[in-house]
Chain A
């Protein structure tokens, strides 16, 4: 059974940093495209970042230069390093895996982890 478990969220001051982790199990992590998607309280889904099987990375404009997505295939873990955090980064952050075969749609999602940026 596929399982994605996010951790590392919490309260951080503006300008601060956090590193989110997503522990994956139940599928071949190294063969999977992985994503971070966020959802501000009461708002819609926003794509944040994607990392390909070979480590190629993509970001939404609002986080470029501040966030870094990475993966450790030996640990089946996805990461999101978030620096210079802003109030508008406050959201639930979801880790999601894509369907196999470069289908570019996320078939499994974690339960999400809350990040609150506030002084």
Chain B
């Protein structure tokens, strides 16, 4: 099974400052078709998850450009360039590399 490990699990951030979340897998996420199906989701309190980024770095339409994704192989990062109040919530990475999917444990972003 592919295990996704996120760090940190909690990230208190000052408004306007950057935030960074790491996601590591226990095996390569490169699919047999050559793509890497690593996505990032945001879950605001009391809401269903919302897709932010797919295939490592592709932002969904409507997602602010302060969100960016990067990485390769087993190491991936979500960055928020300047945190705003509406960014509070839990962020999850998710992989689809084989005939299954798995999520990281989630990283809670809160305002200091």
Using Cβ atoms and an 8 Å threshold, which residues of chain A touch B60? 107
Q: Mark interface residues in B4-17 (1 if CB within 8 Å of A CB, else 0).
A: 00000000000000
| Cβ–Cβ contact B105 & A44, under 8 A | yes
Bound: A94/B102 CA distance, A:
15
> Within residues 30 to 63 of chain B, which ones have a CB less than 8 A from any CB in chain A?
37, 39, 41, 43, 48-51, 54-55, 60
Q: Mark interface residues in A88-108 (1 if CB within 8 Å of B CB, else 0).
A: 000000101001000111110
What are 8 contact pairs spanning A and B, CB under 8 A? A44-B90, A44-B105, A45-B92, A99-B54, A103-B55, A105-B51, A107-B54, A107-B60
User: Is there a chain B Cβ closer than 8 Å to A84's Cβ?
Assistant: no
User: Is there a chain A Cβ closer than 8 Å to B94's Cβ?
Assistant: yes
| Cβ–Cβ contact B37 & A94, under 8 A | no
Picked from B49, B99, B102, B103, the residue with its CB within 8 Å of the CB of A109 is B49
The residue of chain B having its C-beta at the shortest distance from the C-beta of A33 within the complex is: B96
Using Cβ atoms and an 8 Å threshold, which residues of chain B touch A45? 41, 43, 49, 92, 94, 103, 106
Using Cβ atoms and an 8 Å threshold, which residues of chain A touch B90? 44
User: Is there a chain B Cβ closer than 8 Å to A25's Cβ?
Assistant: no
Interface residues on A, range: 20 to 34
| Cβ–Cβ contact B37 & A103, under 8 A | yes
The residue of chain B having its C-beta at the shortest distance from the C-beta of A44 within the complex is: B106
Using Cβ atoms and an 8 Å threshold, which residues of chain A touch B51? 99, 105-107
Given the known interface contacts A45-B106, A47-B101, A50-B101, the answer about A105 and B96 at a Cβ–Cβ threshold of 8 Å is yes
Bound: A106/B50 CA distance, A:
8
| Cβ–Cβ contact A104 & B37, under 8 A | yes
Picked from B43, B48, B55, B99, the residue with its CB within 8 Å of the CB of A105 is B55
